[in-house]
Structure formats: structure tokens, C-alpha cells
Chains A and B, each alone.
Chain A
Amino acid sequence: MDVLTLLAEGFVVSLSPLNLAVVIVGVTVGLFIGAMPGLGSVNGVAILLPMTFLVPPASAIIFLAAIYYGAMYGGAISSILLGIPGASTAVATTFDGRPLAQKGKAGLALIAAAAGSFVGGTISVILFTLFAVPLADVALAFGPAEEFALVLLAFTTFVALGGDDVLKTIITIVLGLVLSTVGLDLISGQPRLIFGDLPGFYSGISFLVLAIGIYGVGEILWTIEQTRHKPHVTPARIGVRDLLAGLRSLGGSVKAMLSGSFLGYFVGMLPAAGATPASLMAYGVAKTTSKHPEEFGKGAVEGVVAPETANNAASTGSLLPMLTLGIPGSPTTALLLGGMVMWGLMPGPMLFLEEPEFVWGLISSLYTANFFAVAINLALIPLFVWSLRMPLHVLCAMVIVLCIVGGYAPDQRMHDVWLIAVFGIAGYLLRKLDYPLAPLVLALVLGPLMEKSMRQALISAQGDPMTFIERPISGTFVAIAVVLFLLPLVRRLRRRLAGSGTPASGRTSA
């Protein structure tokens, strides 16, 4: 049947008054859940699960999906305002969101995040509508070798960041990879790097703990040092006119939005990946392809737009393997899956044929959820920015408290709090020594995935590394990765051959 006809029928479901109400409530709740560090969408969705039994099954799933969607928007808020990622998917947003806020441009950063989220959400839902069924085959085509090649590509985008010290980047990546091997090995089941027998390390080092330590605590330490002798810049107020002006100024980020949307959707669609790697990769790509990569990390609007676009696009993308293959791409989609099974909706290739009303109702509700999420978010931005007007000494103390709560809440172990303290100090020192921190975080997220898929692929190929090159999809990715890796070197060589060391642009000394 025609996709548009199906979608129209879906809208009949999602635009019913009950489902509209459900979407609005879900998005609002999700926004706050996402914005609160430590209260991830997993706990949020789990605690709200009982509420879903008050409404029919389709509305219940729409409600859960709306929370999930709202949380993706909300994650950016604390990343930008406080420098603490509200959720792992919003870690990349802190890279530039926080510097923007410190420059008094928190409003602009929040608008950029909301607009990026909206564009990413919309483009990905359109892709989902048109190509959900054929794309399920693409997700299937990704075996271990392809996963490895994709991760390799993600790393290259970070190594290839021109401007930064390549050696320092590689050092932080390796440091991140070492941290990522802590814990139990999937393949042999043996514990590794557990520092004697510290049980806390059995489950590995949580990526959120590292990010909160380095970006939350480390950032505050850095800020305290920097602002000791200088008066703190009070953040600007923001009104409706500023909102509109902010939206208009996003013209320069169109490229970041488009690449973030497509990249986010495709990466999110792969069962092993999900929204966190997608947002990090989009950040890397935006920086590599930007005309002024040196601004990244110091408050580039594109650096906020790219990851926010990508994480929303990826959250739509990760619904695809859940609906068509029954494989949840993230903990939240796993909860959605549980809910569906409960109501006898069996995910799998047949779901689109057997339950079209449910599937298309859900898809069309993503359009409405996206619309309401951006509207509610934009309306609340002045309130969020206003909260930054508190004095620095109050803000710093509050951020540290939130860091501790946010790190403790997910697993409720003091072990993680100590780790946050250690990472905070380490992050502060690394920053003083001018080491880039984003690659460290990226390596910890992607390291386990990279190791696992590499070993699975090598086992499958009887230990022959040619498997990464011979398989068409993975071979293509590896080739792109090599080109991306060499590109900055070639550029530098050419610049050197051209003669004089003309600086690309007026570089601000930080």
C-alpha cells in the first residue's frame, strides 16, 4: 500500500484528542527528565510505565516514545547551562554548548540545540516514513566487520581534526581505549584491569561517569581558576525578539544540520550503535568539514547543532531495528520493546504487515511529538537562561552537587562518585596541559564496541584481517577512514609547500 496513505491513516490515530494530550504530557515530562542529570530516560520511562495502563496500548507506546523524544531535547539543557551532560547522548553538546554559555550566549546555544533537534527529528522521521521497510535490510547487512569499520571511521573524524595537536589527540584516544577495556571481557569472561579485585570495576567504567567528571567537575575547577581575578560575565537576558534573532542566525549551520540528520539516522539505525556514538560522530564530521574548525571547542554554534541534530535523528533511527528486528538499540527502546510485548505486539519483520495501525500511529506521533517538543522547549528557554543569573559561587556549588547526584543515581554506588572526583581532577589537569578531551570520551564510548566487533569479525574470518577490506560496506568505510586520516596531513604539507606560515584566521589566544 502507498506509504502516504498509511501515514494519513496513522495521523487519524495520532491526532485523536487523547493521543495528542498523551504526546504533550510525554514530551514535557521527557524534557525535564532529560534535563536532570542522573534521571535518565530509562528510569523516567520505567517509573512512568504504570501510567500507561490507563490508556489503550497504542496511546501507551506513543506516550513512552514521546518521553523518549522529549528527553533527547532536554539532555542539551544541562549540558549547555551547567556543563553537565544530562544524558550520555548530550555529552557532545557540552563541547561547545558550555563555552557558548560562558560567553553569555546560553540563549543562542539553547536555541541552536532546539532547532537542531527539530530538524534532526523531522528529517529522520521523514526518512523513517519513506524507507523504514527497505532500510531494515541495511541494518541486517551490518555484521561485525561493518560495525568495526564504522567505528574506525568515527575515530578518524576525531584524529583528523585539524588545528589540534595530532599527537595529543592520539594520546587521549589511547587513554580512553585503555579505560574502555576495564571490566569483564565479553569473549572470554575474564576480568581485566580491575585494580586487584575492586568489585566496582567489574562492570567497567561508565561513560557518563567519565563525562560528568571531566566536563562537570573539571570544568568547574577550570572556571574557578579562570574567574578568580576577573568579574564574572552575567549571562544575557533573553526575550521573544532574541529568540527570533537567534533562529535567524542559524543559517550558517545548515550544513551541520543536514549532515547530522543523515549521519544520526543511519548510525542510530544500526543495532549496536545508537544515539551517543551518532552525536559524537556528527560533531567530528561537522568540525572536519567546517570552514573554521579552530572555533570548535571554544563556542561554535555548529558544534552544538551537529550533535543535537544527530542524537534526535538517531533516536528515531534506533526505533527501526526495534520495530523490524526486535532488537532494541538503547536501554530506552528496550523498555518500549517490553511494553509492546506486554500488549501482544510482537516486533519483527511482520509487525508492519500485521499491525499497520499501531506502527503508522507511532510513526505519525513522532511528527507531533517533534512539533510539541520544539515549541515547549523554545517557550521555556528564557526560564532556563534566567537560572544562570545566580552568582558564580552558588552556581559552582550547585553544579558539583548535581555532578555527584548525577553520577551516583544510575547505579547507586559510591564507587562512581570517587571515580568522578578522580576524573574531575584529571580532566582539569589535562585541560591545563591543553590536551583535547573530546577524543577521550569518544574512545571510551566506542572502544568496547570496536574491540568486540573486531574480535567477532576476526573469529568469523578465521583470523584473516582482509575481511575488513574485502567486504564491500566495510571496505568502503575503511577507505574513507584512510582518506580522512591523511587529509589533514596532505593539507599541512601543501600549506608548507606554499611557503610562509600564514595563519588561517585571527586565532584568539585563550
Chain B
Amino acid sequence: MFRTALKTAAVAAGVTAALSLVPTTAVQAADWQPNKPVEMVIMAGQGGGADRLARLFQSIIEKNDLSNMPFLPVNKGGGSGAEALRYMKDNAGDAHKVMATLNSYYTTPIRTDIGVDIANYTPLARMAVDTFVLWVNADSGITTLEEFVEAVKAAGGEWKMGGTGTGQEDSLVTAMLEQEFGITFTYVPFSGGGTVAKNLIGNHIDSTVNNPSEQMAFFKAGKSTPIAAFTEDRLQVFPDVPTMRELGHDLVYTMQRSFVGAPDMPDAAQAYYVDLFTKLAATEEWQTYAAEQALLTDLLTGQALQDYFLAEREKHAKLLEALEGGGS
């Protein structure tokens, strides 16, 4: 008797538990789910920081079964990301396209008239903030900022700074350096950070402002030397590399790594992706990668993210104005 009662109670408890669980999961699942592969548009070329990250996410999503449909990365890096921005705009309302952004998300529409207003895009999640470091080829023998500035001055404007497309992050950081130190570079644009890194190691250019992940493998092989970091604090992976601030120069610049959806993405789809990226941010694979590659993980979603985007756009408009007004 007693035993049956217990059993009944247990079953009842189990049923209640199941019942209490069922509605929430069922509602979430029923809300919206992709019904075909999701296109992951990358605003940059292959091999750069944005590209690597998108492809890593693709694998993590698959491995942890975060989505019922695969995510397919597509590079649309043309025109400093204008190609990708335009593509998302032309696919307004599409629930099966997400875009991996970088700072050209703000700068490209400001510099090029492509009829895009980012305030209309659907914010999903900011996964990380990437950092910038000044790099030279290890063969150059340069190890300090002073030596670097001296070498650039001695080159008389012919010092080749490689970076991504004109008007993109790398060129902004380069322009900041020019203003701060009163030096001039010959800026050579390449299609992606990976190609930039390779050209530094091949001695086709003299310096870069690559993200840590782009130079990490070459740094470990002793082929490139970090001179200074454009960060608030020293990076954990390069404890011996000073920040520009420590050296008395107020140069701090970071790059957001976020995902946005097309303009007018359905609310249910937005909720789905925000949930997916939130889960992704908690995975062990992502945490490990971020720590190794000196990415600052700082999840931001919803309205807070949109506010951040708009504030950053404001900041970049001023930055561009100041730099382009200042000549070079």
C-alpha cells in the first residue's frame, strides 16, 4: 500500500515536473526554427579574424547541436564589407541570414554611399571585443616603440604599413599612429587580415596592426615581434608587451565581433538567434579559444547592443572626420 502510494507520488511528481518542463521547451521550439540552412555572411575575406571566428562558430554550433540546421559561412568582403551590408539590406525580412560584423559595420556606410543605415538592421549578439597590436617582422630587429618610430621616420614616408581595406579598422589605427607620432606610412590594403599577416612574414610590408589571433601562429614560431598593444591593460597572452598607454600615448582601439540579422528580421527569429548565440557564448570551446586568442568575451544583446552600435557609429564618424580632415 505504502509502496504504491509512494510510487504514485513519485509518478505524480515526475509528471508534474515533466509538465512544468514541457510547456517552456515546447513554446521555445515551436516559436521559430530555421527550416533551411542559415547563411552566415562574413563582412571580410578568408583567413582574417572575422572569418576564422565565423568558421569556429559554425563548428561549435554543429558540435553542440545548437541548431537544427547547419550554418554556412559565405565571404562577402568586397569594398570593405559594403558587399555584405548591401546583401543583407537587399534581403530585408529574411530570417535565414545572419552577418558576422566588425567595425567596418560603422565605417563603410559612413565612407561609401551604399544606401545602408545600420540602425535598421536587427541586432543579435556581440560575442567578443578583439584587440589590436603593432607588429613588425622579427628580422627587422625592432623591439621597442621608440626604435619603431625612428625607423619609420628614417624611411621618409616609404615605410609600408599593411592592413585591410582603406577606411577599415587597420587604416584607422594606422592614421592614429601617424597623428600621434607625426610620421607617415605608405598604406597597402589587402583583402583580409590573414593575407596581411602573411605579407609581413614574407617581408613584403614592414609592419601591421593585426589582431592577436592573426599573428599568433607566426609569433609562436618566432617570426614576428609585437611592439605595443592598443588596449587598456596588458593582454594576458602577451604579458611582456606594453600598452600604448603605458608608453605615454593615449591610443586605445578595439574591434567588436558581433552578429546582426537583416533589417526587419521577424521577432521570433531574432529571439531564436539571440538564444543560440547566448548558449554558444557559454560553451567551453568558445571560452578556451577566446582566452588563447586574446579576445575579450563580453556578451551584449538586444537594445543594449543596438545602443552600443549607434554610439560606436557616432564615435567612428568623428574619428573618420578628424583623420580625413587631418590629411594623409
Contact = CB atoms under 8 A, between A and B. Distances in A.
A350 to B, nearest CB: 5
Nearest to A455: B189
Given A144-B204, A326-B194, A341 B90 contact: no
A338 interface: yes
B79 interface: yes
B82 A202 contact: yes
Nearest to B112: A189
Contact of B221 (A191, A202, A349): A349
Interface string A143-162: 11000000000000000000
A49 B58 contact: yes
A328 B165 contact: no
Nearest to A341: B56
Given A47-B70, A456-B190, A143 B199 contact: yes
Interface in B55-75: 55-56, 58-60, 62-63, 70, 72-73, 75
Contacts of A143: 199, 202-204
B87 A202 contact: yes
B217 A347 contact: yes
Interface string B195-212: 101110111110000000
A133 B218 CA distance: 14
Task: Please tell me the size bucket of the interface on B.
Answer: 35 or more
A445 to B, nearest CB: 16
Contacts of B220: 348-350
Nearest to A333: B46
Contacts of A466: none
A460 B83 contact: no
A128 to B, nearest CB: 19
Interface stretch (A86-94, A180-188, A361-369): A180-188
A338 B52 contact: yes
B160 interface: yes
Contacts of A462: 158, 186
B289 A271 contact: no
B198 A327 contact: yes
A197 B189 CA distance: 26
Interface string B254-287: 0000000000000000000000000000000100
A188 B112 CA distance: 9
Contact of A184 (B55, B79, B189): B79
B14 interface: no
Nearest to B200: A140
Contacts of B75: 331, 334
Contact of B217 (A186, A338, A350): A350
A386 interface: no
Contact of A46 (B46, B70, B108): B70
A189 B58 contact: no
B266 to A, nearest CB: 19
Given A143-B202, A187-B189, A334-B46, A202 B78 contact: yes
Contacts of B86: 199, 202
Task: Please tell me the size bucket of the interface on A.
Answer: 35 or more
A235 interface: no
Contacts of B217: 325-326, 346-351
A461 B78 CA distance: 24
Contacts of B46: 327-328, 331, 334
A25 to B, nearest CB: 18
A370 to B, nearest CB: 25
A141 interface: yes
A189 B165 contact: yes
A452 B165 CA distance: 11
Interface string B281-300: 00001001100000000000
Contacts of B202: 139-143
B80 A328 contact: no
A325 B196 CA distance: 11
A297 to B, nearest CB: 33
A335 B55 contact: yes
Contact of B191 (A141, A321, A452): A452
A171 B319 CA distance: 46
Which of B160, B194, B203 has its CB near the most chain A CB atoms (within 10 A)? Answer: B194
A382 interface: no
A203 interface: yes
Contact of B167 (A183, A189, A202, A452): A189
Contacts of A347: 217
B287 to A, nearest CB: 13
Interface string A317-328: 000010001111
Contact of B79 (A139, A189, A452): A189
Given A325-B201, A338-B52, A344-B288, 12 more contacts: A143-B202, A144-B204, A186-B191, A187-B165, A187-B189, A189-B167, A337-B52, A341-B52, A347-B217, A349-B218, A349-B221, A459-B188
14 contacts: A144-B188, A183-B83, A184-B83, A187-B165, A189-B82, A189-B108, A325-B194, A325-B201, A334-B55, A338-B73, A349-B217, A351-B217, A456-B188, A462-B158
